[in-house]
Amino acid sequence: MRVLGIETSCDDTSCSVYDTDQGIRSVVLSSQEVFHQKYGGIVPEIASRKHLEVLPWVAEHALLEAQTQWDELDLIAVTHGPGLVGSLLVGVDYAKTLSMGLGRPIVAVNHLEGHLLSPMMDHSDIAFPFLGIIVSGGHTEYILVKAIGRYEKVAETVDDACGEALDKFGKLLGIPYPAGPLIEKKAQEGSKNAYAFPLPKVKKSTFALSFSGLKTSAMLLLKSLGSDQTSLEVAHLCASYQHALFHQLLVVAKRVLHQYPVKAVTLSGGVAANQTLRDLFQSSLPVPCFFPGRKWCTDNAGMIAFTGYHQYRLRGADTLTFPVVSRLSISSIHNSKNSEVGI
Ligand code: KG4
Ligand code: ZN
């Protein structure tokens, strides 16, 4: 079966052709980073307009690279939430038009499930149940994956997402959006012990995370240090701040593992591209840790095609009336029929 995946939930326009026998045959991504950089974050109106401009070209290119004709596609999979409404609408309308025009089934994909299953694209042997941790620019969620399609959210942030905390810190230091990769690079020259950031305590639950207090601590620290830090000081700041975020991710992971006996842990989403985070998890947890290949960490249509295929297998096609849902939870996915324990 050949699946066309379409992803436009935020600021990346991406299409991918996934063949269920051969794996991913192509993934094409058009980034809008340069258009948003000067605003220090994503401007929704610009995002949807850019998707509209490039999506047909991105799709054509994905088919070309996959050496696939339109009529060789068997399924259209598209992200329908969560994300920016205008951006989602561009992808979903395009996908519905293709589905109608080609006479092929369509399946609506939850972007978070795409991130959650992305480690399986390269590791088909991850044992269930596992703890899937999504750390991206919009989400920080800990999800028990009992099988594909059977999920239970067990922990999440009460305020900012981990990637958002990195991007906001980057803004304070004048590092362009998205700041995560540059903070990672800078941190390699500094010491994680140079500055002490507190481990946030969330009263509501020992499983809850919080990042906004760390951002405020960083802001106060920067104020006290003055405006002209040396390159080494910036490196120390990046290393210490990044470590404070990752340490919190690890502390909560250990708490969850203490309560839920899982066989493995996965990290996915943009922040999971970070090697320091990968090393920390790999060296500190009692169960095997898996990560997606780096190109599957940040938003991409490969994970949407892959997830779309599995959802289609479990629940069949969707009708053309499905909506875009800007605030869509992973808990909205219920595949009660599913009793599998592996792919
Ligand atoms: O998954 P993603 O592309 O978009 C969302 O669905 O949010 O994640 C983007 C986030 C940004 O906050 C970016 O700063 C962060 O992932 N990120 C990283 C790295 N690469 C991207 N954070 C830390 N280290 C990285 N190497
Ligand atoms: Zn994402």
Mean pLDDT of the chain: 94
Q: Is the CB of 136 under 6 A from ligand 1?
A: yes
The pLDDT, as a whole number, for residue 35 is 86
The pLDDT, as a whole number, for residue 285 is 98
Q: Is the CB of 270 under 6 A from ligand 1?
A: yes
Kindly tell me the burial class for residue 20, based on how many C-beta atoms sit within 10 Å of its own C-beta (0-12, 13-18, 19 or more). Answer: middle
Q: Is the CB of 138 under 6 A from ligand 1?
A: yes
Tell me what percent of the residues of the chain surpass a pLDDT of 90: 88
Q: Mean pLDDT throughout 88-101?
A: 98
Residue 342 has pLDDT above 50, yes or no: no
Do 211 and 307 belong to one domain?
A: no
CB < 8 Å & 24+ apart, contacts of 94-103:
94/6, 94/55, 94/56, 94/59, 95/6, 96/320, 98/4, 98/59, 99/320, 100/320, 102/70, 102/71, 102/73, 102/76
Q: State the Cα–Cα distance between residues 124 and 340, nearest whole angstrom.
A: 14
Q: Mean pLDDT throughout 22-33?
A: 95
Q: Mean pLDDT throughout 253-259?
A: 97
User: How far away, in angstroms, is 229 Cα from ligand 2 center?
Assistant: 33
Q: State the Cα–Cα distance between residues 219 and 213, nearest whole angstrom.
A: 10
Do 20 and 71 belong to one domain?
A: yes
The pLDDT, as a whole number, for residue 339 is 35
Instruction: Report pLDDT digits (tens) over 101-139.
Output: 999 999 999 999 999 999 999 999 999 999 999 999 999
Q: Mean pLDDT throughout 256-266?
A: 97
Residues sharing a CB contact under 8 Å with residue 227, sequence separation 6 or more, in sequence order: none
Residue 221 has pLDDT above 80, yes or no: yes
Do 26 and 61 belong to one domain?
A: yes
Domain contains 34: yes
- Structurally, how many domains does the chain consist of? 2
Q: Mean pLDDT throughout 168-177?
A: 92
The pLDDT, as a whole number, for residue 334 is 65
Domain contains 122: no
Residue showing tokens 């509501």: 204
Report the nearest-CA residue for atom 16 of ligand 1.
270
- CA-based nearest residue to 247, from 165, 153, 330, 130: 165
Ligand 1 atom closest to 162 (CA)? 12
| Other beta carbons within 10 Å of 4 | 32
Instruction: Report pLDDT digits (tens) over 284-340.
Output: 999 999 999 999 999 999 999 999 999 999 999 999 999 999 999 998 886 644 434
For residue 59, give the CATH number of its domain: 3.30.420.40
Domain boundary among 272, 291, 310: 291
Residue 204 has pLDDT above 90, yes or no: no
The pLDDT, as a whole number, for residue 101 is 98
Strands 264-268 and 150-156: unpaired
Q: State the Cα–Cα distance between residues 266 and 196, nearest whole angstrom.
A: 28
User: How far away, in angstroms, is 328 Cα from ligand 1 center?
Assistant: 19
Q: Out of 46-60, 193-207, 239-253, 264-278, which region has the weakest mean confidence (pLDDT)? A: 193-207
Do 142 and 258 belong to one domain?
A: yes
Report the nearest-CA residue for atom 7 of ligand 1.
137
Do 138 and 262 belong to one domain?
A: yes
The pLDDT, as a whole number, for residue 37 is 80
Provide the domain limits for residue 277: 128-291
Do 161 and 174 belong to one domain?
A: yes
User: How far away, in angstroms, is 180 Cα from ligand 1 center?
Assistant: 6
The pLDDT, as a whole number, for residue 108 is 98
Do 285 and 332 belong to one domain?
A: no
The pLDDT, as a whole number, for residue 341 is 35
